[in-house]
Structure 1
Amino acid sequence: MSTKNSDCLIIFTRNPELGKGKRRLAATVGDQAALEIYSFLLEHTRKITKDLPLTKQVWYSEQVHQNDAWDAIIYDKDVQKGEDLGLRMENAFKTAFENHDHVIIIGSDMYDMNQADLEKAFQQLETHDAVIGPAIDGGYYLLGFTKKLVAGVFVNKEWGTETVLEKTLQDLKNVNYATLDARNDVDYYEDIKDIPVFQPFLKHI
């Protein structure tokens, strides 16, 4: 249930299902390992978000699961709406801005992010119009705004490519925005092959 506060965290997640999601990773590690890795990343996302004293919303890719590991007492739940990722994010932001002044969106596959990163991001929105967390692969792992979206930020992007960050920064050039430290997200085998915590999922390779 939402508490009344000015801050809202949107978490975009895929419904974990064998053979769906993390396709670029699955191409190397296989469908079963990709699902296990994604489930591990979901648990990490819950761990770093559950204690944040703000409204937390989980937006599912396909359908809401009421009795899953996302505790409905801690997390509000909704379904993403829109024909592409940009429209889905825009719709989620517009919904959140109906009740909150500071809204940040993250994915659910960032092992390289922790609770302190999220706290810092919301702190930045106290004095900035926007905040962005660059991903090493040329995308972003976090994006947030104060009171309203910056026009155009979710259109004319080739989602999932290395051009997303550059084009988004162009959209932000006329507003006062803060940049977080760059982080590594998990899309490919190469992103995790040298990280010890992922080794149990990669023994078959």
Structure 2
Amino acid sequence: MCADAAVSLAILAKAPIPGRAKTRLIPALGPVGAARLHARLLRRTLAVACHALPPARITLWTALDPDHPLFLELAEQHGIMLRPQPEGDLGERMHRALSQSGGPAMVIGSDCPALSPALLAACAGRLKNHDAVCLPAEDGGYGLIGVRHPDPRLFDDIAWGSGSVMAETRERIAALGWRLACPATVWDVDRPEDLARLSAACPALL
């Protein structure tokens, strides 16, 4: 199932380095276990993305170790592009990733098991007649944001990591006069209490 090839996708991901990836899961899984889960989630995210969009339109924006073997393996396996994440807070990095596409683009992380090829394709399709698309997350953030034309004001003064990220983003979108589509609400894997749900939804990842 391929979405409109004109829409690009940026995936932001850390290298699966024990002690530095999925740190909030370390109390439940230990540093090595958390890093392994992060790697599995990233592999799944890439597989889902490549079923929704042409690989040439997908860029994996890497952090911690841009030359990590997993990144190189995924690039070769799927035919995607690798770029190191720039400096700055999450909003600055997302804006940079969206801006590099030169056209409509979406950005995601790697920890949202609710993403599917159909949902990614639906989000890309919404950008044909909406200025922005989001997948609000149950924790108050979002699992995806996409725009027809990137604008840094979309990410100004957002309390990243808080439960108000989606609400603040809606305010920014309204201030810009944009039309927003939210095709679905999703959930992600951030905290130990998310692991039971992950086990039920995607047991192969644990």
1:135 aligned residue: 137
Verify the 8 A CA contact 1:192 1:198 in the aligned structure 2. no
2:159 aligned residue: 158
Gaps of 5+ in 1: none
CA distance in 2, matches of 1:162, 1:171: 16
Matched, 1:187 2:190: yes
CA distance in 1, matches of 2:133, 2:78: 28
> What's the CA shift for 1:109?
1.0
* Number of aligned residue pairs: 193
Q: 1:58 aligns with which of 57, 60, 66?
A: 60
CA distance in 1, matches of 2:61, 2:158: 21
TM-score (norm: length of structure 1): 0.87
CA distance in 1, matches of 2:88, 2:205: 36
TM-score (norm: length of structure 2): 0.86
> What's the CA shift for 1:183?
0.6
2:150 aligned residue: 149
1:10 aligned residue: 10
Give the direction of change, closer, same or farther, for the CA distance of 1:198–1:73 in structure 2 (3 Å limit): closer
> What's the CA shift for 1:90?
1.2
1:120 aligned residue: 122
DSSP 3-state at the match of 1:70: helix
Give the direction of change, closer, same or farther, for the CA distance of 1:155–1:177 in structure 2 (3 Å limit): same
The correspondence of residues 39-118 of structure 1 with structure 2, limited to 5 A, is: 39-51=39-51, 52-53=53-54, 55-65=57-67, 67-71=72-76, 74-97=79-102, 101-118=103-120
> What's the CA shift for 1:200?
7.4
CA distance in 2, matches of 1:88, 1:112: 23
CA distance in 1, matches of 2:205, 2:124: 34
- The residue identity in structure 1 corresponding to 2:181 is A
CA distance in 1, matches of 2:191, 2:125: 31
> What's the CA shift for 1:84?
1.0
Verify the 8 A CA contact 1:82 1:91 in the aligned structure 2. no
Could you say which structure has the higher helix fraction? Answer: 2
> What's the CA shift for 1:17?
0.6
Verify the 8 A CA contact 1:45 1:108 in the aligned structure 2. yes
- The residue identity in structure 2 corresponding to 1:61 is A
Percent of paired sites with the same residue? 27
The correspondence of residues 167-186 of structure 1 with structure 2, limited to 5 A, is: 167-173=168-174, 174-186=177-189
> What's the CA shift for 1:158?
1.8
DSSP 3-state at the match of 1:78: strand
